[in-house]
Amino acid sequence: MGRNLLAKVWDLHRVRDLPGGATQLFIGLHLIHEVTSPQAFEALRERGLKVARPDLTFAVVDHVVPTDDVRRPLADPLAEEMFCAIEDNTAACGIAFFPPGCGSQGVIHVAAPELGLTRPGLTIACGDSHTSTHGALGAVAFGIGTSQVRDVLATQCLAARRPKVRRIVLTGKLGPWVAAKDVILHIIRVLGVKGGVGFAYELAGPVVERMGIEERLTLCNMGIEGGARIAYCNPDEKTFAYLAGRRYAPDGADFAAAAAWWRTMASDPDASFDDEVALDVGDLAPMVTWGITPGQAIAIDEAVPSPSACPGPERAQAEEAQDFMGVTPGKPLTGLKVNVVFIGSCTNGRLSDLRVAARVARRGRVAPGVRALVVPGSERVAAQAEAEGLADVFRRAGFEWRLPGCSMCLAMNPDRLRAGELCVATSNRNFKGRQGHPQGRTVLAGPAMAAAAALAGEIVDIRTMMGADA
Amino acid sequence: MTAQSIQRVKGRVVPLGGDDIDTDRIIPARFLLCTTFAELGEHAFEDDRKSPGHPFSDPRYAGAKILVTGRNFGCGSSREHAPQALKRRGLEAVIGESFAEIFLDNATSCGMVCACLPREVIEKLLADAKRDPRSEATIDLAARTVGLRRRKYPLAMDESVRQRLLDGSWDVLAVLQEARDRADALAARLPYLAFRRGGAAR
């Protein structure tokens, strides 16, 4: 029986077994940012410890940066303090830091793959739950908390529990305007927001094989929303082509050697899995969320479920969600008035996402009264979008073209919802209060649906809006 | 710095209930604009607790040590600020039907106990604490039980987590440091650390 990718990567990085079945795991790449690292550096200082492998540690500032003006000092003194902290900590420890203006800054999960830091066969940890994103290139990548950031800084190791592996085989040909975001929302809906707890998700099958790397990044990004701390795709020729020529990817003759090794790290054809799920996504429609968890999702042509039709334990939650969101059971979401549109984040802030959104934006103008933000995932994405003319498309259509950062995904910067506003967001979480106001409401969707909502001023079916232009 | 062994938690219960309580609800992101955890306690459930009847704004539950909730507690963001806020509010343990994995790691790292019980027992605990806020529960890690009103219910917990709490290595850094030489030796064998990095502009 062959082995799956997770088993190969785990065994390669196992320093030793710990009591009770945990593993001391070596971390091949440690990504840090300004929110979850300052307390970790402080803990190191308190104990007189050094960073074990600054050469395997890379830092950005992404969560707190404003998207309109990043001149120092930042307008918010607390954000400025956090910026200074990571600047000082990385300088003192010899860690590479990518601040705004360097050309490589961005949301860590957008910037690291672009830099070629994310590669097959690595263990990757970052103090951010969306670290699952990096699995798209065949890494075993997972989010950690601040104490664990400290552990990795001090030892380049973690105490980790080995997950089981669930292989999700996706078949069918995706319909027009249906993409990775819709697929992952569908998976979470089917398997539940805690369905992946204790599992790593291997996303496989012809649908994944046909996807480009950026779509795979979207897919793995939201594995955590389904409870799976780790999600990954097996590396293939597309992965290698994506990595070729990137700053931190192997160079010259070593690239061929690396690619040969990367190939060996993919799951074997006869690999075994702890669980297997097959999903035909051929008849999937664009997805939207109607509630306050990413699992509360429906197809755009489907009605909001009646709480009484939900399974027992989910009934109260559905009632709470519908009350909070102001949606009506039995009705579809189309026609729901939209105040804000947010296109960006580590889920859908990449060039391919902006291309799709721009195709829609070319068709009209942002509806009166709608605030529509396009926040590129990184400076590299922004530069490419400018060069391709996408930024101009957005500006002409009345979207605000912003600077890169996490922005309104979690609203730690000034980009926030106001009371009662409803936002169609391409990000990953529709939790109560997530976008910066306790009464702000979030509908998650893909970039095409979000752009369409901006033009219409209400939630629409992108397929209807674009007609035959598929 | 050696950590304390945690054998048991005995105290009053705050009956939160609810499923899929995410870390944005436990500590909203605007309170993450900080470089220490020191001030977080006062902001636990800052937004949720404004709704009527929320147990975190009910003075009868002030000083409770055990939070009781439903399934998938602590899902979402990896912010350790969440268990840190609960801990700084005086909570020492969370009893739930299940926990999100990153939350479980973060809670363990700060010496907070996360114990799993079946839904029907959780409902008993919730009902009991609502009826009598002075009622106490006891989590016994060695015996793997939760005690409530002279009855004991078996709890479930990841074995590596339970051992770390019992042997005082819940702050696991010292354990990881012991194997420094082995970690260095492993790194020296990793194929990818030997590949020469490119200097390409892309």
Q: What pLDDT digit, counting tens, does each position of B163-196 carry?
A: 999 999 999 999 999 999 999 999 999 999 999 8
Question: Would A280 be classed as within a structural domain?
Answer: no
What integer pLDDT is reported at residue A17 of this predicted model? 98
Name the residue of chain B whose CA is nearest to A414's CA. Answer: B30
> Which among A206, A232, A265 is the end of a domain?
A265
> Which among A235, A265, A295 is the end of a domain?
A265
Q: What is the CATH number of the domain that holds B54?
A: 3.20.19.10
Q: Across the interface, do B177 and A22 touch by the CB < 8 Å criterion?
A: no
Question: Would A89 be classed as within a structural domain?
Answer: yes
Name the token pair of B166. 């019992």
- A213: chain B residues, CB-CB within 8 Å: none
What integer pLDDT is reported at residue A114 of this predicted model? 98
Q: Across the interface, do A154 and B199 touch by the CB < 8 Å criterion?
A: no
A202 and A89 belong to one structural domain: yes
Question: Would A273 be classed as within a structural domain?
Answer: no
Among the partner residues B22, B101, B183, nearest to A229 by beta-carbon distance: B101
Q: Across the interface, do A245 and B187 touch by the CB < 8 Å criterion?
A: no
Question: Would A149 be classed as within a structural domain?
Answer: yes
Among the partner residues A82, A142, A433, nearest to B28 by beta-carbon distance: A433
A195 and A303 belong to one structural domain: no
What integer pLDDT is reported at residue A219 of this predicted model? 98
Question: Would B200 be classed as within a structural domain?
Answer: no
Q: What are phi and psi of A311, to 5 degrees?
A: -60, 145
CA distances from A70 to A100, A101, B109, B192 (A): 7, 9, 35, 36
Name the residue of chain B whose CA is nearest to A415's CA. Answer: B30
A217 and A160 belong to one structural domain: yes
- pLDDT over 90 (residue B199): no
Question: Would B73 be classed as within a structural domain?
Answer: yes
Mutate to test the interface with A, among B35, B72, B120, B158 (most CBs of A within 10 A): B35
Q: Distance from A463 to chain B by nearest Cα, in Å?
A: 31
Domain hosting B72: range is 8-194
Q: What pLDDT digit, counting tens, does each position of B71-86 carry?
A: 999 999 999 999 999 9
Q: Across the interface, do A16 and B29 touch by the CB < 8 Å criterion?
A: no
A174 and A206 belong to one structural domain: yes
- B188: chain A residues, CB-CB within 8 Å: none
Q: Distance from A459 to chain B by nearest Cα, in Å?
A: 26
Tokens 């249906």, residue? A178
Query: At B2, is the pLDDT very low, low, confident or very high (cuts 50, 70, 90)?
Result: low
- B105: chain A residues, CB-CB within 8 Å: 144-145, 148
Print pLDDT tens along chain A (470 aa). Answer: 899 999 999 999 999 999 999 999 999 999 999 999 999 999 999 999 999 999 999 999 999 999 999 999 999 999 999 999 999 999 999 999 999 999 999 999 999 999 999 999 999 999 999 999 999 999 999 999 999 999 999 999 999 999 999 999 999 999 999 999 999 999 999 999 999 999 999 999 999 999 999 999 999 999 999 999 999 999 999 999 999 999 999 998 899 999 999 999 999 999 999 999 999 999 999 999 999 999 999 999 999 999 998 888 889 999 999 999 999 999 999 999 999 999 999 999 999 999 999 999 999 999 999 999 999 999 999 999 999 999 999 999 999 999 999 999 999 999 999 999 999 999 999 999 999 999 999 999 999 999 999 999 999 999 999 987 76
How many residues make up chain A in this entry? 470
- A254: chain B residues, CB-CB within 8 Å: 195-196
- A39: chain B residues, CB-CB within 8 Å: 35-37, 80
- In the three-class reduction of DSSP (H, G, I as helix; E, B as strand; rest coil), residue A381 is classed as helix
Give B187's Cβ-side CA count (13 Å radius).
Answer: 18
Find, among A116, A109, A123, the residue nearest to A27 by Cα: A123
Among the partner residues A28, A81, A159, nearest to B176 by beta-carbon distance: A159
Name the token pair of B89. 């509010």
Query: At B139, is the pLDDT very low, low, confident or very high (cuts 50, 70, 90)?
Result: very high
Name the token pair of A123. 């263990």
What integer pLDDT is reported at residue A252 of this predicted model? 87
Q: Which amino acid is at A370?
A: V
Q: Across the interface, do B106 and A155 touch by the CB < 8 Å criterion?
A: no
- A250: chain B residues, CB-CB within 8 Å: 195-198
Domain hosting A47: range is 5-265
Q: Distance from B13 to chain A by nearest Cα, in Å?
A: 22
Q: Across the interface, do B72 and A193 touch by the CB < 8 Å criterion?
A: yes
Q: Specify the number of domains making up chain A.
A: 2
Among the partner residues A39, A53, A293, nearest to B20 by beta-carbon distance: A293
Strand runs labelled E in chain B: 8-15, 66-68, 93-96, 113-116, 136-140, 145-148, 151-154
Question: Would B170 be classed as within a structural domain?
Answer: yes
Among the partner residues A147, A197, A433, nearest to B80 by beta-carbon distance: A147
Q: Across the interface, do A247 and B24 touch by the CB < 8 Å criterion?
A: no
Q: Distance from B88 to chain A by nearest Cα, in Å?
A: 15
Establish whether the linkage from the previous residue to A38 is cis, with ω within 30° of 0.
Answer: no
Q: Which amino acid is at A110?
A: V
A320 and A380 belong to one structural domain: yes
Mutate to test the interface with B, among A10, A81, A345, A431 (most CBs of B within 10 A): A431
Instruction: Please tell me the distance from the alpha carbon of residue B202 to that of residue B200, in angstroms, as a whole number.
Output: 6
Give Rg (Cα) of chain B.
20
Question: Would A270 be classed as within a structural domain?
Answer: no
Q: Across the interface, do A82 and B35 touch by the CB < 8 Å criterion?
A: yes
- pLDDT over 70 (residue B198): no
Q: Across the interface, do B201 and A410 touch by the CB < 8 Å criterion?
A: no
Question: Would A131 be classed as within a structural domain?
Answer: yes
Q: Distance from A30 to chain B by nearest Cα, in Å?
A: 14
A65 and A114 belong to one structural domain: yes
What integer pLDDT is reported at residue A25 of this predicted model? 98
A291 and A177 belong to one structural domain: no
Tokens 């094989």, residue? A209
Question: Would B52 be classed as within a structural domain?
Answer: yes
Q: Across the interface, do B171 and A158 touch by the CB < 8 Å criterion?
A: no
Question: Would A282 be classed as within a structural domain?
Answer: no
Q: Across the interface, do B186 and A13 touch by the CB < 8 Å criterion?
A: yes
What integer pLDDT is reported at residue B201 of this predicted model? 45
- B18: chain A residues, CB-CB within 8 Å: 317
Asked if residues A116 and B198 have their Cβ atoms less than 8 Å apart, the reply is yes
Mutate to test the interface with A, among B43, B80, B84, B180 (most CBs of A within 10 A): B80
Strand runs labelled E in A172-291: 199-204, 230-232, 275-280, 287-289
Among the partner residues B29, B50, B106, nearest to A411 by beta-carbon distance: B29
Beta bridge partners, A165, equal: A200
Q: Specify the number of domains making up chain B.
A: 1
What integer pLDDT is reported at residue A442 of this predicted model? 98
Give B134's Cβ-side CA count (13 Å radius).
Answer: 0
A38 and A119 belong to one structural domain: yes
- pLDDT over 70 (residue B202): no
- A310: chain B residues, CB-CB within 8 Å: none
DSSP state of A302: S
Q: What pLDDT digit, counting tens, does each position of A362-390 carry?
A: 999 999 999 999 999 999 999 999 999 99
Q: What is the CATH number of the domain that holds A155?
A: 3.30.499.10
Q: What pLDDT digit, counting tens, does each position of B27-65 carry?
A: 999 999 999 999 999 999 999 999 999 999 999 999 999
Among the partner residues A156, A197, A227, nearest to B183 by beta-carbon distance: A156
CA distances from A77 to A61, A80, A216, B34, B43 (A): 15, 5, 37, 10, 20
More confident residue, B5 or B200: B5
DSSP per-residue string spanning B71-120:
SSBTBS---THHHHHHHHTT--EEEES-B-HHHHHHHHHTT-EEEE--HH
Question: Would A278 be classed as within a structural domain?
Answer: no
A319 and A229 belong to one structural domain: no
ipTM value: 0.96
Phi-psi region of A138 (alpha: psi -120 to 50; beta: other; left: phi over 0): left
Find, among B11, B29, B35, B3, the residue nearest to B110 by Cα: B3
Question: Would B99 be classed as within a structural domain?
Answer: yes
Instruction: Please tell me the distance from the alpha carbon of residue A349 to that of residue A357, in angstroms, as a whole number.
Output: 10
Question: Would B199 be classed as within a structural domain?
Answer: no
Q: What pLDDT digit, counting tens, does each position of B90-102 carry?
A: 999 999 999 999 9
A224 and A324 belong to one structural domain: no
A22 and A163 belong to one structural domain: yes
Name the token pair of A355. 């291309």
- B202: chain A residues, CB-CB within 8 Å: 116, 245-247
Question: Would B20 be classed as within a structural domain?
Answer: yes
What integer pLDDT is reported at residue A468 of this predicted model? 72
A330 and A459 belong to one structural domain: yes
Question: Would B202 be classed as within a structural domain?
Answer: no
